[in-house]
Amino acid sequence: AQSVTQPDIHITVSEGASLELRCNYSYGATPYLFWYVQSPGQGLQLLLKYFSGDTLVQGTKGFEAEFKRSQSSFNLRKPSVHWSDAAEYFCAVGANSGYSTLTFGKGTMLLVSP
């Protein structure tokens, strides 16, 4: 069965500092990988996705993620965090064929300090 681990429940970053959110997955084949962001009381907004090809993917709001097959990781990065980035971030893995079930990590809450 597929699974996702986000080891950090909370992360606090100073505004303007760089950010890296960790995500490790377990899946039998090459997965589809996603990062979503959720603001309080809102649904999930897609930041970026990896299906195949270049292992460094660019997303919205200046985020990027790198797929590392050898480490089963898909970490999310941003070079300079803005106060508006404060939210909860979810990594998800999906099957690359057949069905569209997503398995999510528990999420990482990002706090941005002034």
Return the residues of window 31-60 that contact other proteins according to CB under 8 A. Answer: 32, 34, 36, 41-46, 49
95 HSE (CA, 13 A, CB side): 6
Q: Sort strands 102-104 and 87-94 into parallel, antiparallel or unpaired.
A: antiparallel
Select the residue interacting with other proteins from 94, 108, 110, 112 (CB under 8 A): 94
Cβ at position 108, least distance to other proteins in Å: 12
Cβ at position 11, least distance to other proteins in Å: 17
The C-alpha atoms of residue 110 and residue 14 are separated, in whole angstroms, by 10
Q: Output 43 or 53, the one with its CB closest to other proteins.
A: 43
The C-alpha atoms of residue 40 and residue 76 are separated, in whole angstroms, by 20
Select the residue interacting with other proteins from 12, 101, 111, 113 (CB under 8 A): 101
